[in-house]
Structure 1
Amino acid sequence: MRRKHTDHAKASSIDPYLGHNPLLRRSDRVQARTKSIVVTLMILMLPLSAWFAMTTLSVQTDRVSEQQHSRHSVTATTTADANPTTLAQSDVSVQTTTTVDATWTYAGVDHQGQISAVSGSPAGTETDIWVNDNGILSMQPLTHGDAVAAALFTGIGSLLTVHLLLYGLYAAYRFHLDNQRESEWDLAIKNFMDGNSLS
């Protein structure tokens, strides 16, 4: 008898939800299975997030390589004073740059447009800008650091998003089961009191 009880205890210690514990309700087993599924999905999300990160890094690296060859640094010369805007003169904030007309030359062709310059700088101020192969004003090219940052953001962001979503769903389902168990307890207590009433 003692050996049989010991064997049952060992089986329960491995996974108490696989044993025939009479104290475990159906909702307890459902919650345990749900938790196992959620944990498994969280673990499986690790390599998937790593794949997202590596894919993003590959794409961003290609963009870095393309932009390093298609973006060019030239010197632009402002053709007007960089007067601060009304917002720059307000008490709330101080604007350090403003938009001003300027000209620049790329591949022997003159171009003109508006660039950002330091507020208060006079006409004729030279500022380094970036242009594309057509000499049109463009953004600064991406760097390898930008590519790595984007990859980390994608990988970690996707991992945290899925983990929070799974945990939120599990927490909501557990809350539902807790309410169900409380209702079952209330009903059982009511039935017990009704069945053992002295009146």
Structure 2
Amino acid sequence: MRPLRGADRTLARLRAHARRAAGRDPNPLIRRADRVRSGLVLIGVLTVVALLALCWLPGLLVRDFENAETAQQAPHRHRISAVAVADSAPSDAPQPFSGTAGYETELGWTYPAGTPHRLLVETSDAQRAGTRTQLWVDDSGRPVPPPRTQSDITVDALWTSGSTLLAEAMLGVAAVTVGRAVLHRRAQRAWEREWAQVEPRWTGRAGRSA
């Protein structure tokens, strides 16, 4: 008889749990608590399979929503060239992540045609007057975030799916832990009741008392 490999051992254990949960295990020592415990194992396995299948659904919904939103915004996002109006001036405000002071740079651009705009922005490097910078604006020429890329959308979808899976796993672990604790207490009380009936006969105390 060849030894069982990992996958074969897992399937064999699941089949054993299925027989025990269905009351078809021929072992006379199997108690009701053992059958319930095997049922919990099967429910846990089926739950894990279902969670793995369903955890992608929120991610797919996020992907579809962001794709639709990006497609809707695309006609109203315009990449224009802004120019530094004057040389940058040192700024006291620390830059994000680096924590070091940056520069204040005033940018100017015209969009739509004939509509000038000015904006003072924080930059990490000093800009000379006349330096050009790419900027995204809406139909009225106001600065807006750049359109989301497919990479951004994919990361959001994966993050949503991963977070969903983690939350489901935590709930599942909590449910299994509580279920096992309740089952253990019930099995312990049942064992004590059975032992109280068997122990006198086992030790002979019942005969001596008679």
TM-score normalized by the length of structure 2: 0.67
2:87 matches 1:83: no
Q: Give the conservation status (yes or no) of the 8 Å contact 1:67–1:141.
A: yes
Cα-Cα RMSD: 3.6
Map Cα deviations across residues 41-95 of structure 1 (whole Å, 9 max, x no partner): 322233433333333222222222223322111122334524132546xxx9543
Distance in 2 between the 1:154 and 1:86 partners? 34
Which residue of the partner structure matches residue 16 of structure 1?
Answer: 20
> Partner residue of 1:31?
37
Q: Indicate the percent of aligned positions where both proteins have the same amino acid.
A: 23
* 5+ residue gaps, structure 2: 1-14
Partner Cα distance (2:82, 2:16) in 1: 77
Q: Which runs of 5+ in 1 are unaligned?
A: 1-10
Residues 10-63 of structure 1 show CA distances to partners (whole Å, capped at 9, x for unaligned) of x97861232364433333322222232232232223343333333322222222
The letter of the residue matching 2:75 is H
Compared CA separation, residues 100 and 172, structure 1 to 2 (3 A) = farther
CA contact (8 A) 2:78 2:136 kept: yes
Of 150-159 and 178-187, more deviation after overlay is shown by 178-187
Q: What SS class does the counterpart of residue 15 from structure 1 fall into?
A: helix
Structure scoring higher RCO (CA < 8 A, sep ≥ 6) equals: 1
State the Cα deviation string for residues 120-144 of structure 1 (Å, max 9, x = none): 3345443211111111111011112
> Residues 70 and 153 from structure 1, CA distance in 2 versus in 1: closer, same or farther, beyond 3 angstroms?
same
Match of 1:161 among 158, 167, 176: 167
- Tell me the amino acid that sits aligned with residue 20 of structure 2: P
| Cα distance between partner residues in 2 of 1:33 and 1:155 | 28
